[in-house]
A and B are shown apart, each in its own frame.
Chain A
């Protein structure tokens, strides 16, 4: 690894990375004060794709707002809808049938894998390797096909309903999911050989952008960013929700705190998600997917409710303040990438631009989710 050189602040220039830059995967802008190839100071500028999702939440009824959540993060949309329906169900006391809960968990985990696969491809492309993206997208395609058959859409699902689901899964889906699991495990071995074992890849990531536990806690980082730094925190384990306590799965934790650790956590999470899907398919109970008395008008009693879920990008929280009407008083979304991204400013000081951008790739940023 490079050791930071003695920086002379009077010899710097400002490099404007983004909002349209290939490395930022969206419209993130980073104002970098550079000394040659070294970053003296960096400032992330967000807001280029702000769509006022939170404000919309205060103006729409609950069912109308349902589709907004999947537009927040276009790669792991299921997890965000999950958080929203859970908090509304908690607030209005809607009982969810067991089958619906299991299907939700399976869908969220499938979506998590597809999100991690896309991240994997894009991350390796950040490092200059093109082909793994295509392999990852091919595996992701199987997931999208399965989800499309059930939910009707491939990217921004509106599948979860208050109290259950929009559509029941059929045998075809269950078979496809069962076929997918061994295929994905085979692909994971392939990625291990092609990418993880590659000496150039390892040399670039080992020791890159060391994040301490304290830094992660300071910024509220979650997901692989925190777990790569040795913080064993996963909402599915620590504050269990839905049917997750029924599943037997591990939370991969690495203590190195470098970009490779973050990479390894995500790759291991794919395997853990596969385990959850496997168990979910085995345990999938029969029954209805919506409660017998379908909630027609959703009017949670006045109060303050919070629900956190573990999405592909980390701890996603929804705080719902209801005043007893059919429109929420306040709907605060705690997006995980927002916290993860702000590590970047502090950590990238003194790094070379290519290391900094590799680090940025390892944070798994999805910009629409930061700006909301």
Chain B
């Protein structure tokens, strides 16, 4: 009993470390990537390739005074950044990186991750509501309507995958895709899906991931040209740092889910190196795509975003669900 407890604690610590490290270094990767796209050097002074930039930024943020503006709702104001980071870290616990590297293999892993993902929206709401700032308030209203709009197609698409796999266990879903590269859920023919619409499901899921994590072109919550800095306008110091890291941790979670549900998890196309490396490779390719999209596209409008969800993505994903159900019945 004590051994399992120890195991769980070690696993949780590793999960937290992985989340924090990723969040910190993705900021660096994003800045370097943006600089590469914009033909400028980016952070390159501190350490080789500027690799010491994230810890130094962390030190700087922690050394700053934590300003709580007058008239804010203090409890919510302090709770919001914590709520931004905490669900992201918790979600890592159940994500399998290979068939042995998983902190806690749960039968309802998907359910747990989506439950925590919903809490992320709450942190934006709290931050905007408690800040006593009109910009922050407008931003949080946007963020919540966005979260509601995009969780629906995301969940429906996930249900499609769950129906094919017959399980909500992430390990099980990956195992079913592990025969060969063509058995990945994204490919329509050979896998156990036999569903021609699977590439579209992948696309819907990916778009929803962008919207759920408040990334460009759906970063309406922090549209800096309209709402100054959105929900974290009033945050300084590490409160801002936590929001920032939470955003990147959420990106990692979203990309992990995409990898597991559609890209065969740690399944290796050629078996050159152990599965966990394949997992990380797919993960970081997805993250690089997200960064690339951010620095290429302008932002959508709030009604454009909601129209996309309610008028296009939700009907499409519902149709996809029905079609998949029909196919499962036939085959």
Contacts and interface: CB of A to CB of B under 8 A. Distances in A.
A128 B40 CA distance: 19
Interface stretch (A144-152, A247-255, A314-322, A347-355): A347-355
A163 B135 CA distance: 53
Interface stretch (B99-107, B163-171, B291-299): B291-299
A128 B299 contact: yes
Contacts of B159: none
A198 B216 CA distance: 14
A204 B226 contact: no
A128 B296 contact: no
Interface string B224-247: 111010000000000000000000
B297 A198 contact: yes
Interface in B202-255: 216-217, 219, 223-226, 228
Interface in A127-179: 127-131, 134-135, 138
B298 to A, nearest CB: 4
A352 B220 CA distance: 13
A354 B302 contact: yes
Interface in B133-170: 134-135, 138, 141-142
A200 B134 CA distance: 27
A131 B216 contact: no
Contacts of B298: 124, 127-129, 195, 198, 200-201, 204
A107 interface: no
Given A128-B216, A131-B296, A354-B301, A22 B138 contact: no
A357 B297 contact: no
B295 A125 contact: no
Contact of B39 (A21, A125, A134, A204): A134
A34 B301 CA distance: 17
A198 B226 CA distance: 21
A129 B223 CA distance: 11
Contacts of A23: 225-226
A305 B86 CA distance: 70
Contacts, number: 79
Classify chain A's interface size.
Answer: 20 to 34
B297 A129 contact: yes
A313 B135 CA distance: 31
Contacts of A135: 38-39
Interface in B35-59: 37-40
B303 interface: yes
Contact of B134 (A13, A129, A357): A13
Contacts of B135: 15
Interface in B286-327: 295-304
Classify chain B's interface size.
Answer: 20 to 34
B217 A200 contact: yes
Contacts of B224: 22
Contacts of A128: 216-217, 219, 223, 225, 297-299
Nearest to B216: A128
B34 interface: yes
Contact of A15 (B134, B216, B304): B134
Contacts of A203: 300-301, 304
Given A22-B228, A354-B223, A130 B38 contact: yes
Contacts of A353: 138, 226
A195 B296 CA distance: 9
Nearest to A126: B225
A37 interface: yes
Interface string B174-209: 000000000000000000000000000000000000
A238 interface: no
A6 interface: no
Contacts of A8: none
Given A2-B303, A127-B225, A128-B223, 4 more contacts: A131-B296, A200-B299, A352-B301, A354-B301
18 contacts: A2-B303, A22-B228, A36-B138, A37-B138, A37-B302, A125-B225, A128-B299, A130-B295, A131-B34, A131-B295, A198-B297, A198-B298, A200-B299, A204-B298, A204-B301, A354-B226, A357-B225, A357-B226
- The 3 residue pairs across chains A and B that have the minimum distance between CB atoms: A128-B299, A129-B298, A134-B38
